[in-house]
Amino acid sequence: MGLDGIELVMEVEETFSFSIRDEDAATFYTVGQLYALSKTLASIDLAIPSPAKSRSYSSYTPPLPAARKG
């Protein structure tokens, strides 16, 4: 992941108040994968609202990129 990708992840974390583990952030190949994780994290918080809990996750696995034909 390049600097632009890192900045994008940081901006998403700041905007939506959750954190993404570095190991998971390094696996993103598309913005769609980052979006999928963001939706997952947002739905976790909506299902269990708690002002004392930080937004986190433990079972998310980002999808693998599609195989390229060539």
pLDDT tier for residue 49 given thresholds of 50, 70 and 90:
very low
The model carries a pTM of 0.56
Range of the domain at 41: 3-46
Q: Is pLDDT at 57 greater than 60 in this prediction?
A: no
33 is a domain residue: yes
Q: Is 8 left (phi over 0), alpha (psi -120 to 50) or beta?
A: alpha
Whether 68 is in a domain gets the answer: no
Confidence at residue 39, expressed as pLDDT on a 0 to 100 scale: 85
Q: In the structure encoding, which two tokens stand for residue 65, read together?
A: 């990129």
Residue 16 falls inside a structural domain: yes
Q: Is there a domain that residue 61 lies in?
A: no
Domain assignment present for residue 11? The answer is yes
Residue pair 69/31 in contact (Cβ under 8 Å)? The answer is no
User: Which residues lie across from 55 on neighbouring strands?
Assistant: 18
Do the domain assignments include residue 12? yes
Asked if pLDDT for residue 11 goes beyond 80, the answer is yes
Total number of domains in the chain: 1
